[in-house]
Structure 1
Amino acid sequence: MMQYVLLAWILGMTGMGKVWSLTTVTCAMFVIFWMMIQILVVKCPNFKPQFFRFCSIIFLCLFSFNLAYLYADAALTQRMDLRESTTKQAEVIVHVKSMNQIQSNRIKQPVTLLNYRKQPVKWLAYLQPSSDQVLELGKYYRLRGQILPAHSYAIAGAFDQEKWFLQQNIMAAFQVQAVEELTEQALYAAGQMPYVRQQQGLIAKTLLAIEQQRLSLRITFQQQSLHNAGLLLALLTGDQSLLSPDIEDLFKRMGLSHLLAISGPHVLIFAALLCWSLHRLIIRFTPTWYLRYPKPYLLVFPFCMGVLLYSAFVGFEIPALRTLFTSLIIAVLILCKFKLQPVQVLLFSAAILLFIDPFSILSAAFWLSYGACLVLLRIYQTVQQQPIQIADTRVGQLRLYVALLFESQWKIFIALLPLILIFFQQVVWIAPFSNLVALPWLSILVVPLSIIATLSLWIFQPLGVLLFQLNDLCVSWLLSILNGADQMLASTVQNVALSWGMLGGLIIGLCILFLPRGVVPKSWAMVCMLPIFIVDESKQPFELHILDVGQGQAIFLQKQDQQMMIDMGGHYDEQKFSVGKQLIRPFLNSKGISNLDQLILTHLDQDHSGSYFSLRSTLPVKNIYSNEIVEVMPNSQFHYCYAGQVWQLEGVKIQVLSPRQEQLAAVANHQNELSCVLYVQVEHAQPYANFLLMGDAGWETEYQILKAYPDLKVDVLVLGHHGSKHSSAYDFLQRLKPKIAIASAGFNNRYGHPSILTQQRLQALGIPLYTTIDKGSIQFIQNEQQIEMRFYRDQQRWLNR
């Protein structure tokens, strides 16, 4: 019963941020129903105990599920109340008690704000690497600068910055412009002495000392002539500040990125080394201790202490916390002589972690970490059920270990495949083989040697430096092997597009495969996975998505088996931040789309077309249209876009209204004004059947459209030029009188889009305005003859504005 209740608690936590109709009333109802069953058992002696047990499990699971949801929802509400929502100048007093993260263009420094809220809150300060603005650990400062609220691109599949800030307990970012160190007298004058005294406690001083040691280790690595200092530091502490982008990309291509973050084995290696050293000392000097205390009882405390110390040293990352809680639970079971199944221990660990930090449920590290542990436990159970294989020689034992390592790698890869697709929408097929080489090398040689070298640095620095240089050579050998494999295999990263239905079938099929034999026929797994191979895309309903791509425009349209895009957005520097790779590709993958039938670039401004050029080598497109010639891939066909062109899908008509064919010669000098303007009509649909997509066209084009198409009916108007004051003229809006207007624009954009003048025109005419700034991606989805409008930011509480 216990494991079902714990599992229900974990699943209830997954509802964080979702608007479910669960309240404390339903929680009370579960308690009442359970008490009624107990009364029924007392009053009816013939009541079957098995039925009572079944009902008790159901009600306890429902109660646990609901209670977990309410707990997570309350934690989210409390944290959201502390967020900043507007960009403005501010002067704040901060305390620095966490080390910074160095990036190529800025330094990210977590700080604790003391004077901005009723309680201390955590912000992320941005500093320029080239400036003399340095924030030292343990000191207090007055900072002047600009508050930068977290703002995500609210588009399916993309990285959610607002969720990440909440998960990290960061309430805002802060662009630092001036720094002033504060003395104790200044803090006293500011009324901050109670907080200062609190930081003088033992726990606070210990955590600060650990952070200082981490920073000291980074400085030592910077001062030494190590070729792979960044990689060694990342493997040892999880600090990626010195990591080379080339090595980071190599590890991504080889499916080894998880090794750059601290994992459970790192923590266990340190604790095992500590216990082994203590064990050797006991045998050498006081062996009689083992006569009074059994070995497990004697070593359990130093083992847990080692896990705790290393977890603190790496900043209490989720995999480290998982190992810490699991170790503590096992220690209690050993000391109290209790027995629990390994799966129950793991569920206990996850439940405790989520009780302490419910926001862990939002992290991919939580799911991948515990998922990998469950697979390893299943492999261990399988090995136990098989006949014992006795190896008489060391060679035979080595073969068994290698066989077990190979089996564990491919099973973990397959079992975690759905989670990888959900979180990252891509697969590295070589990952099991690269892990087979890198994992033993790092776990058996590099990480233990790094730990020993770090301890040596504190005792006798020259010895520690020598060991790190030796370890640097070991890492270089591994990198040469990985680079050779990477060159031979070229690109091993593949974007995978699976719809939620396909993913559901894959998850159920894999669960059946990993269940013990005899529970469910294994052949059922193939039946569950059939949607991946036979899914019918020919009956997809009409969908039109105005995607949130910041200051730009990208529109996705789908009907039956036809998928097309009208513009693809683009960052002004796609090398710095690629809208195509970070937003458009994940969105298409989330829809189960790996290629496009048609792409219409209304014009070639970077904010409308930049993503295409970053994706064209990996995203097949059959036909590409634009008002200017575009260099396309060999498998694509280019066509000019001009008035009179019509594409007829089943029940959907797409028509080009502008520019006229004779105007194409003047496009180079009038790119915005001669944007391709599209008119989309959906037959027999209400209330949104007619869509007018204006690109960046302005008043001149609007006048020509009114003159050429006097009877044009528009329900949804996507405003020209992101709602600029030079588009959407009053007469144009008055003649069309759309039901709603939409502006695709970026948060806090420097152009002020949508313009105040445009908003005033719409307000005067009573036309509602929706923007991707406030609503995120705006979706129009057909359900029979009704087309519903949905906002992506309504799907999660932290996104809702």
Structure 2
Amino acid sequence: MKLLYAVAWILGIALMGQSVSILNHLFYPALILVIGLLPLQFFLFKHKPALILQFICGLIYFMLFLTAGYYYAQSALQQRLAYKETRVEDTKVIVYIAKINQLGSETIQQEIQVLNRHEQPVQWLSFQKRISDQQAVLELGKYYRLTGEIRPAHSYAVQGVFDLEQWYLQRNLMSGFKLKQIQPLSEAEIYGLGYASHLRKQQTIFKQLQLAIERQRLKIRNFIYIQPLSHKGLILALLTGDESFLDKETTIFFQRFGISHLLAISGPHVLIFAVMFCWLLQKILNRYWPQIFLKIPRPYALLLPFCFCVLLYCAFVGFEIPALRTLLSCFCLTALAWLRQKISALTLLLLSASLLLLFDPFSILSAAFWLSYGACFVLLRIYQTTIRLDLSRSQTWQQQLIFALKLLIESQWKIFVALLPLVIIFFKQVSWISPISNLVAIPLIGLVVVPLDVLAAFTFYVFEPLSSLLFQLADWVLLFLLSILHLLDAMLPIKLLSVALNVWQIILLIVVLSIIFMPKSTLPKTWVVLSVFPLLGLSAKQHPFELIVLDVGQGQAVYMQDDQQHAMIDVGGYYDETKFSIAKQVIQPFLSKQGVSELDPLILTHLDQDHSGSYTTLKNELSINQVYSNQQLDVAGKSRFDYCKQGQIWHWSEHVEIKILSPKASQLAQVPYQQNELSCVVYIQVKNVQPYQNFLIMGDAGWQTEFQLLQDYPDLKVDVLILGHHGSRHSSAYAFLKYYQPKLAVASAGFHNRYGHPSRITQARLKALNIPLLTTAGHGSIRFTARSTGLIELMTQRQTRPWLQSADSVVPNVTALNAALPH
């Protein structure tokens, strides 16, 4: 029963950011019931109670822990959000440096403690352009006055896309900061500025120890940097978790093989160091003080040194979640062992997870938390079904080796299969070769490279030439590993597979896997077949009409679906897709989340980078039947191209009709000279719905095209207008807006974009005509979904999570807009 209470606490924390109003009101009633039922609890403890009484008491305690976890998570979230920056502005800040920086190929990132922004210090992430290795950097343990620009974290608020704001929140980073000028400050100056309390706090033993550890990390990084190693980035990342020297190509290579988890500090890394130290300690004690084991049994005598080693290494790598999980598990194990309590592996796992979330509830937002504990759970099942059956048998070393290989193979495919739902949820991509590549990588990295790294780091403080040799040996092993992987890469078509499942499909997949991994006596394995059929059938489910204006920053992309058909109008694009790919980081994850593998049609209003830049990547990753644009472009595979021109009409489905209103066929020859003005203007009509039935998408067209539309289509009905040229002042003329009088205007524009879109002049025109304006910068993706009632519901992505919402947003409230809809 106690395990269920731990599960309830974890589930409550997992609801962080979700609005479950009933749980807000259940905590105190549940607490009062628990206090009121204390006499009954005493009776249940003394006597064997009826099953119904046990169930009632268990349910009350379950609700208490569930609501307590939920209340605790929401309270912590609100406190942290109070310090989140939301506006871009120039400022000067007083900061303290407590952690080493992260060196990138183009930038230097540094976590800074900002002292003068709020009543208590807050963490920001500063970044500056990396010019050379000799440039001025922020030194550990020093104070500075920094001049720069506040750059709040701002996610691409699109379903299925990496949430940068959540990542900042989970890391306790309240803002980004573009560093422009550095001015060192002495301790006397800090004292004079009124920060004496912070100065005294940094001089405590605990803070000095933390600073000393960071300095040692920096020393080892500098030592590795000057070594003649081929894989400095991998060696440093495997030793300390610092990815300063890790190049982008290596990271992508490891992702394709499904072994990128090995680049993060994990439990085995920590345990290797602790086991090596305790083995050495045991040898010393056996030789010089063997009598100590007569007073204290060997396992109990080594538990405390073992935990100390785990604590030291966790501090050395910055208390990453997998390492912290190992630390808490070791502490719990030590406490239970010393108290002579029965130790259950599952109990240990749930207890450590509960304690981790008590210390840091924001860990629940990290994929590392779920994948780490998920992998541990699978390994526990392997232990229960495999290891304990074979450990009792006497075996030769050859049999032990064969058994170890069997165990490695079994564990890899079971972990791969069991964690598949989590991988799909968090990454939307799967590496099919992962079980095979892990068979090679895990033994070499876990049993050879990491121990060599640890020994090298230890000998660095004793004899540097030996440390250099050990690092070189680790480098040779990595060279051997990468040679094997490159050989596999040359022989096999290895790529990440995009996998898209909706919520119900994921739930059914979890049910299937639960049945597979349950003990044989629990449920018949044939039940898997019964679960697979609905899993396959759900993909054929019909979907209502939906139109989504995606948040692609300073660009435009519109997605549309009806039943099993999917289309896009523009696909966005970063100014340099090689540096940051909108296709790979936004469009593909979104389409994967929607379960889209084919588009028909794709309309590119024109070929500007911010409207079509992603197409270069998407055309090779996605099946696109028909491509339309105002200019000729290359298409891939079986795709067909045609020009978009006035008069084209597609009855896309029974409910949806698509029309092209501009340019005219006679104007296509002028497109190279007037790309924006001659954008494809797309008009979408949806039958039998209200209140948003007619959508007009203007591309980058301006006043000239708007005037032409007024002449050619005087009876045009417009409910939703996606403003031309992202709301530029040279589009959306007052006469145009007044004539068509849309119910809603949408501007697809980037946060704090340099063009000032949507223009204040355009906003003034809309305000004068009482036309509500939504922007992707302020509301994220804007979704119009048809319901069975015949209403089209308006929702925005930034409504879905508290950390995505901004009190400084100037756009109208979506809830109020929905409330005004006819019912």
TM-score, with normalisation over the residues of structure 1? 0.98
Is the contact made by 1:99 and 1:215 (CA closer than 8 Å) also made in structure 2?
yes
Q: 2: distance between equivalents of 1:492 and 1:633?
A: 19
Displacement after TM superposition at 1:46 (Å): 13
Correspondence for 1:129: 130
Q: Is 1:582 paired with 2:605? A: no
1:573 aligns to 2:576 (yes or no): yes
Partner of 1:401 in structure 2? 404
Q: Deviations over 1:284-327 (max 9, x none)?
A: 11111111110111000000000000000000000000000000
For 1:29 and 1:607, the matched residues in 2 are separated by 54
**1:780 match: secondary structure:** strand
Does the 8 A contact of 1:537 with 1:560 survive in 2?
no
SS for the counterpart of 2:244 is coil
Identity of aligned residues (%): 49
Asked if residue 91 in structure 1 is aligned to residue 92 in structure 2, the reply is: yes
Q: Per-residue deviation at 1:402?
A: 0.5
Find the residue that maps to 1:535 and give its secondary structure.
Answer: helix
Matching residue's letter, 1:163: Q
Distance 2:539 2:281 in 1: 63
Mapped partners of 1:245, 1:35: distance in 2: 56
Matched, 1:116 2:121: no
Amino acid across the alignment from 1:56: C
Residues 380/46 of structure 1: CA separation in 2 closer, same or farther (3 Å cut)? closer
**TM-superposition CA deviations, 1:244-288 (whole Å, max 9, x none):** 333222211111100000000000000001110000001111111
Shift in Å, 1:31: 3.5
Letter of the aligned partner of 1:714 in structure 2? V
User: Is contact 1:501–1:531 with CA below 8 Å preserved after alignment?
Assistant: no
Letter in 1 for 2:764: Q
Query: Does residue 1:148 correspond to 2:144, yes or no?
Result: no
> Which of 230, 235, 256 matches 1:232?
235
Contact 1:505 1:530 (C-alpha < 8 Å) held by counterparts = no
Code of the aligned partner of 2:191? Y
* Match status 1:28 vs 2:28: yes
Is the CA contact 2:784–2:794 (under 8 Å) kept in the aligned structure 1? yes
Q: Does 1:760 align with 2:735?
A: no
- What letter is aligned with 1:522? K
Q: Please state how far the C-alpha of 1:384 moved relative to its aligned partner.
A: 5.3
Using the alignment, how far apart are the partners of 1:275 and 1:743 within structure 2? 63
Q: SS at 1:617's partner residue?
A: helix
Question: By how many angstroms is 1:387 displaced?
Answer: 6.5
How far the C-alpha of 1:105 sits from its partner, in A, is: 1.1
Matches within 5 A, 1:326-365: 326-365=329-368
Distance in 2 between residues matched to 1:151 and 1:306, nearest whole Å: 39
The equivalent of 2:434 in structure 1 is 431
Call closer, same or farther: CA 1:215–1:183 in 2, change over 3 Å: same
Q: Which residue of 2 aligns with 1:705?
A: 709
Counterparts of 1:141 and 1:387, CA distance in 2: 61
2 CA distance for matches of 1:334 and 1:653?
Answer: 70
State whether structure 2 residue 751 is matched by structure 1 residue 747. Answer: yes
Contact persistence 1:498–1:593 (CA under 8 A): no
In structure 2, the residue matched to 1:106 is 107
* TM alignment of 1:10-29, pairs within 5 A: 10-22=10-22, 24-29=24-29
The question of 1:510 aligning with 2:513 is answered yes
With 128-137 and 590-599 compared, the bigger mean Cα shift is at 128-137
Structure 2 partner of 1:723 = 727
Q: Tell me the distance in 1 between the aligned counterparts of 2:434 and 2:146.
A: 45
Could you tell me which amino acid in structure 2 is paired with residue 653 of structure 1? E
**Corresponding residue number in structure 2 for 1:79:** 80
TM superposition shift of 1:390: 3.2
* Offset of residue 508 of structure 1: 1.4
Asked if the contact 1:418–1:506 (Cα under 8 Å) also holds between the matched residues in 2, the reply is yes
Contact 2:599 2:623 in 1 (8 A): yes
| CA offset digits 1:556-609 (Å, max 9, x no partner) | 000011100000000010000000100000000111112212100011111000
Rounded Cα–Cα distance in structure 2 between residues aligned with 1:298 and 1:310: 20
Determine the C-alpha separation between the residues in 2 that align with 1:736 and 1:287.
Answer: 92
Is 1:494 the counterpart of 2:504? The answer is: no
Which amino acid in the other structure matches residue 364 of structure 1? A
What does residue 769 of structure 1 align with?
Answer: 773
State the superposition RMSD in angstroms: 1.8
Asked whether the equivalents of residues 683 and 697 of structure 2 are also in contact (C-alpha less than 8 Å), the reply is yes
Query: 2:772 is matched by which residue type in structure 1?
Result: P
Among 514, 524, 529, the alignment partner of 2:527 is 524
- Work out whether 1:779 is the aligned partner of 2:783: yes
1:371-405 CA-to-partner distances (Å, cap 9, x unmatched) read: 00000001111125646673532111100010011
SS of match in other structure, 1:179: strand
Change (3 A) 1:634 1:384: closer
Q: 1:326 to 1:312 in 2, by over 3 A?
A: same
1:150 touches 1:173 (CA, 8 Å); kept in 2?
yes
Q: Name the aligned partner's letter for residue 302 of structure 1.
A: P
Stretch moving more, 488-497 or 444-453: 488-497
CA-CA distance at 1:340 after TM superposition: 3.4
Matched, 1:626 2:629: yes
Deviation of 1:513 (Å): 1.1
After superposition, the Cα gap between the structure-2 partners of 1:384 and 1:442, relative to the gap in structure 1 and judged at 3 Å, is closer
Q: Secondary structure at the match of 1:459?
A: coil
Tell me whether 1:680 sits opposite 2:684 in the alignment. yes
> Tell me, which stretches of 5 or more residues in structure 1 are unaligned?
none
SS at structure 2 position matched to 1:126? strand
Mapped to 2, the partners of 1:305 and 1:580 lie a distance apart of 47
Quote the Cα distance in structure 2 between the aligned partners of 1:36 and 1:100.
54
* Structure 1 Cα separation of the partners of residues 291 and 393 of structure 2: 33
Partner of 2:820: none
TM-score relative to the length of structure 2: 0.95
Q: Is the 8 A contact 2:627 2:639 kept in 1?
A: yes
Deviates more, 1:494-503 or 1:532-541: 532-541
Gaps of at least 5 residues in structure 2 are 807-823
2:758 counterpart SS class: coil
One-letter code aligned to 2:377: L
In the alignment, is the contact (CA less than 8 A) between 2:601 and 2:626 conserved in 1?
yes
Q: In the alignment, is the contact (CA less than 8 A) between 1:496 and 1:594 conserved in 2? A: no
Provide the residue aligned with 1:255 in structure 2: 258
Specify the alignment match of 2:809 in structure 1.
none
